[in-house]
């Protein structure tokens, strides 16, 4: 930074002071540093200013007062005066600009800034929360997602809590011994993977987990093996329930003192306390939900992710990074880069996302899967039944069960609990004619008709209520069965099986576990309780509803949800049976029957490659008022290989309906364009979009409407 012919920092500051004295009337001198002594060594602080909506992605230089010299170390939280007004006097004596929070990133000898430097107003706390490694990661994530560094830091560094900070952190416990392989023996490469972790190596694997509850213990062993090598470990899980299971397994294996649990529901104080324990190195392992993806684990030796297909891994705050992508960044170090060696990587899931398949296909990670016959023995028997079949038994008909499902439930209840998975209400796809399957459209605007409740029929675009629908194609008057919620399904099943207790688990009330006795357990996807000893059977109802969603990921998602439920059922050796009510010829249905999630993901990956869809390309969505989207695309200096799809109108949020994240405000017509580039051009695309948006933000106010930019949009149909 400094060159030989420049004055040293202290001299430069003195010069600046002189200049200012001459240039401005004495009363206008910024009060903060008038006559104040500055730090002698490295008197300039580079500060990353955290100013709300403003996207200031650069540091600003401040002078370090002598009395803050000791505390003003890189990484600490500071407060500085920031804002327009060149030191003008307001209210008699105040310096221009308000106090804003920031991070001190670096101490340097000189500043390139030509004007007078303001002084650091305050070192909020001496805790250097923004370590160089965390700053580097945050910069990478901001770059990957076309977001601002300030936004990412807000996700990566939890809010300070003074009481939690005041408490001293203990020294870390001695590392545990390397664990036995345990259930990893079921995978040919399992024990070797564990041994490599224990030796301090950094293997990368995509692990197709066998059905059953052992995954938590297996993840715990991977953590323990990494700890045994003297390194730290990080595991990100999709929700609090799975985090609690790993917490219990890890505590069983290595005791309570080796890891911290980072979850949002712990409350701000506990959350910051746990985060600090990780940051200070008082614990070497961290587990938790998506915010933990940034956890500043010391000497990171392993990053692991459980169930990367779960939507819980997608951060919903800007720039909406995905835990899998962030952990891939953490496990990747460019050749020749400085710093510690990259950690090992473990992505575990019962199913297989297209992105996970790509990590293997591209050679970045190795597959870690059980032999075919092991999988077959441990997975339940899966049978399919088309949804046109209707049961003979009147009780089954009343419960809308095909006879095979009815028989399976009756048989299963003799041996234990039976799980019934029903799609969430409101998850309903477009309604269709019951006779010819023509989608039901609004007579007003041709939008898709929806059934917000059992009584009404409304348009998903314009919100108009339809009272007398008839099929445009065949004149039919009946709509295809709308999705019935978990509660009503439970009532109907209760009448069909009067002697059996019925329990429900859904969004409002999620059951964690159920006992091993006969019971019907009705659950929405993702809320399935674990049954003691495993379910005897499972019925996966209304498969058509999961498959009919107009989304690129509908099939993958349906398979993931079915596998998630089926993995809680006893293996077919123990009589476990699953019935999926869906068209048997469909690909995800067949993948479930064969229990072949990887094959399904690979096939899907091939199709995405043919169609140049993610993850084989990198995509970004630009949405906003139509004129703004068009202008934005015209202004943006996109890379030459970029391809623009659309823009197309987005569905209008009907008045009174809550606004979807990233969607238009109620009643407003928005457009959305997709921009895609071949893999490898992602960084250039993100840079171009970020620059274009920054330019637009600068012109805001003058009637320049803003657009939303989202990298890796989750819903592309």
Q: Which of 17, 39, 72, 82 binds DNA (CB under 7 A)?
A: 82
Q: Is residue 438 involved in binding DNA (CB under 7 A)?
A: no
Contacts of residue 394, defined as CB under 8 A and 6 or more positions apart, other chains included, come to none
Q: Is residue 102 involved in binding DNA (CB under 7 A)?
A: no
Q: Which residue numbers belong to the known binding site for Zn(2+)? A: 433, 436, 442, 445, 459, 462, 471, 474
Where do runs of H (alpha helix) occur along 446-595?
486-496, 543-547, 554-566, 587-594
Q: Residue 319 — φ and ψ, nearest 5°?
A: -90, 30
My answer on whether omega of the bond before 39 falls inside 30° of 0, hence cis, is: no
Give the separation between CA 176 and CA 232, rounded to whole angstroms: 12
State which residue, 154 or 251, has the beta carbon closest to DNA.
154
In Å, what is the CA distance from 408 to each residue of 485, 537, 683?
A: 21, 7, 52
- Of the candidates 562, 549, 538, the one whose C-alpha atom is nearest the C-alpha of residue 427 is 549
DSSP output for 492-529: HHHHHSTTS-EEEE-SSS---EE-SSS-EEEE-TT-PP
Let me know: does 145 contact 621? Beta carbons within 8 Å.
no
Q: Which of 10, 24, 79, 88 binds DNA (CB under 7 A)?
A: 88
State which residue, 47 or 536, has the beta carbon closest to DNA.
47
State which residue, 100 or 536, has the beta carbon closest to DNA.
100
**Binding track, positions 677-716, relative to DNA; x by CB under 7 A:** --------------------xx-xxx--------------
My answer on whether omega of the bond before 615 falls inside 30° of 0, hence cis, is: yes
Number of residues located near DNA, criterion CB under 7 A? 32
Q: Is residue 394 involved in binding DNA (CB under 7 A)?
A: no
State which residue, 114 or 388, has the beta carbon closest to DNA.
114
Give the separation between CA 300 and CA 290, rounded to whole angstroms: 17
Q: How far apart are the first and last CA of the chain?
A: 49
Q: Is residue 92 involved in binding DNA (CB under 7 A)?
A: no
Applying CB under 7 A, the span of 75-83, 195-203, 523-531, 588-596 interacting with DNA comes to 75-83
Q: Which residue numbers belong to the known binding site? A: 433, 436, 442, 445, 459, 462, 471, 474
Applying CB under 7 A, the span of 108-116, 213-221, 459-467, 567-575 interacting with DNA comes to 108-116
We find the least distance from the C-beta atom of residue 623 to DNA, in angstroms, to be 18
Q: Is residue 332 involved in binding DNA (CB under 7 A)?
A: no
Helix (H) or strand (E) holding 677: strand 671-678
My answer on whether omega of the bond before 45 falls inside 30° of 0, hence cis, is: no
State which residue, 122 or 214, has the beta carbon closest to DNA.
122
Q: Is residue 96 involved in binding DNA (CB under 7 A)?
A: yes
We find the least distance from the C-beta atom of residue 691 to DNA, in angstroms, to be 15
Q: Which of 90, 317, 414, 478 binds DNA (CB under 7 A)?
A: 90
We find the least distance from the C-beta atom of residue 88 to DNA, in angstroms, to be 6
Q: Is residue 497 involved in binding DNA (CB under 7 A)?
A: no
We find the least distance from the C-beta atom of residue 5 to DNA, in angstroms, to be 21
State which residue, 100 or 197, has the beta carbon closest to DNA.
100
Residues 42-71 that bind DNA (CB under 7 A): 51-54, 56, 60-63
State which residue, 27 or 90, has the beta carbon closest to DNA.
90
Q: Residue 449 — φ and ψ, nearest 5°?
A: -80, 145
State which residue, 189 or 697, has the beta carbon closest to DNA.
697
Give the separation between CA 330 and CA 344, rounded to whole angstroms: 9
Q: Which of 22, 84, 159, 656 binds DNA (CB under 7 A)?
A: 84
Helix (H) or strand (E) holding 404: helix 403-412
Q: Is residue 171 involved in binding DNA (CB under 7 A)?
A: no
Q: What is the CA radius of gyration of the chain?
A: 29
**Binding track, positions 110-149, relative to DNA; x by CB under 7 A:** -x-x-xxxx-------------------------------
Residues 561-600 that bind DNA (CB under 7 A): none
- Of the candidates 370, 391, 86, the one whose C-alpha atom is nearest the C-alpha of residue 211 is 370
We find the least distance from the C-beta atom of residue 699 to DNA, in angstroms, to be 7
Q: Is residue 85 involved in binding DNA (CB under 7 A)?
A: yes
In Å, what is the CA distance from 90 to each residue of 17, 35, 121?
A: 20, 20, 17
Give the separation between CA 115 and CA 43, rounded to whole angstroms: 15
Give the separation between CA 508 and CA 504, rounded to whole angstroms: 10
Give the separation between CA 420 and CA 428, rounded to whole angstroms: 17
State which residue, 592 or 689, has the beta carbon closest to DNA.
689
State which residue, 57 or 165, has the beta carbon closest to DNA.
57
Please give the residue ranges that form the binding site for DNA (CB under 7 A). 51-54, 56, 60-63, 80-86, 88, 90, 96-98, 111, 113, 115-118, 697-698, 700-702
């Amino acid at each position: 930074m400094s060159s030989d012919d420049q004055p040293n920092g202290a001299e430069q500051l003195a010069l600046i002071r002189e200049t200012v004295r001459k240039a401005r009337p004495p009363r206008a001198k910024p009060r903060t540093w008038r006559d104040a002594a500055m730090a002698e060594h490295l008197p300039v602080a580079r500060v990353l200013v955290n100013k709300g909506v403003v996207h200031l992605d650069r540091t600003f230089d401040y002078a370090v007062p002598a009395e803050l010299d000791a505390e003003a170390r890189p990484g600490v939280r500071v407060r500085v005066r920031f804002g327009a007004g060149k030191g003008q006097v307001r209210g008699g004596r105040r310096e221009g600009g308000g106090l804003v929070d920031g991070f001190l990133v670096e101490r340097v000898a000189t500043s390139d800034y030509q004007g007078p430097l303001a002084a650091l107003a305050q070192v909020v706390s001496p805790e250097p929360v923004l370590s160089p490694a965390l700053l580097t990661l945050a910069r990478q994530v901001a770059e990957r997602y076309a977001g601002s560094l300030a936004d990412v830091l807000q996700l990566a560094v939890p809010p300070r809590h003074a009481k939690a900070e005041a408490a001293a952190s203990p020294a870390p416990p001695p590392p545990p011994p390397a664990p036995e392989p345990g259930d990893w023996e079921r995978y040919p490469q399992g024990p070797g993977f564990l041994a490599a972790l224990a030796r301090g190596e950094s293997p990368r694997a995509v692990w197709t987990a066998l059905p059953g509850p052992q995954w938590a213990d297996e993840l715990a062993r991977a953590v323990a093996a990494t700890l045994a090598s003297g390194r730290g470990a990080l595991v990100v899980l999709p929700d609090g329930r799975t985090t609690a299971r790993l917490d219990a397994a890890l505590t069983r294996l290595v005791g309570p003192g080796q890891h911290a649990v980072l979850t949002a529901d712990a409350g701000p104080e506990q959350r910051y306390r746990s985060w600090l324990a990780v940051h200070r190195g008082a614990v070497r392992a961290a587990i938790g939900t998506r915010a933990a993806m940034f956890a500043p684990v010391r000497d990171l030796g392993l990053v692991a992710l459980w169930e990367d297909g779960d939507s819980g891994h997608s951060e919903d705050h800007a720039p909406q990074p995905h835990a899998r992508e962030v952990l891939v960044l953490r496990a990747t170090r460019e050749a020749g880069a400085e710093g510690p060696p990259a950690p090992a990587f473990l992505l575990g899931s019962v199913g297989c996302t297209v992105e996970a398949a790509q990590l293997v296909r591209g050679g970045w990670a190795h597959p870690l899967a059980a032999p075919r016959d092991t999988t077959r023995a441990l997975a339940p028997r899966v049978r399919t039944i088309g949804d046109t079949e209707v049961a003979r038994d009147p009780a089954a008909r009343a419960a809308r069960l095909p006879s095979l499902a009815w028989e399976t439930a009756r048989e299963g209840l003799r041996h234990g609990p039976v799980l019934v998975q029903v799609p969430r209400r409101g998850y309903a796809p477009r309604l269709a004619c019951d006779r010819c399957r023509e989608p039901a459209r609004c007579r007003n605007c041709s939008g898709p008709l929806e059934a917000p409740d059992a009584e009404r029929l409304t348009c998903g675009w314009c919100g108009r209520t339809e009272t007398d629908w008839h099929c445009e194609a065949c004149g039919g008057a009946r709509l295809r069965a709308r999705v019935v919620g978990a509660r009503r399904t439970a009532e109907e099943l209760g009448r069909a099986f009067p002697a059996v207790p019925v329990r429900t688990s859904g969004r409002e009330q999620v059951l964690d576990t159920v006992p091993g006795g006969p019971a019907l357990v009705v659950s929405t996807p993702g809320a399935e309780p674990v049954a003691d000893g495993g379910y005897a059977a499972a019925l996966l109802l209304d498969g058509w509803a999961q498959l009919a969603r107009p989304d690129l990921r509908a099939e993958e998602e349906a398979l993931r949800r079915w596998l998630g439920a089926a993995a809680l059922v006893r293996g077919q050796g123990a009589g476990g049976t699953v019935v999926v009510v869906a068209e048997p010829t469909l690909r995800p249905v067949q993948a479930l029957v064969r229990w072949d999630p990887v094959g399904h993901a690979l096939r899907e990956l091939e199709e995405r490659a043919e169609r140049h869809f993610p993850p084989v390309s990198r995509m970004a969505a630009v949405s906003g008022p139509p004129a703004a989207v068009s202008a934005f695309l015209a202004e943006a200096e996109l890379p030459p290989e970029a391809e623009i799809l659309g823009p197309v109108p987005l569905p209008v949020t009907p008045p009174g309906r809550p606004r979807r994240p990233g969607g238009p405000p109620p009643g407003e017509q928005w457009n959305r364009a997709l921009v895609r580039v071949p893999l490898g051009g992602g960084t250039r695309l993100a840079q171009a979009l970020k620059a274009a948006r920054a330019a637009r933000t600068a012109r805001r106010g003058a009637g320049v409407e803003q657009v939303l930019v989202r990298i890796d949009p989750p819903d592309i149909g």
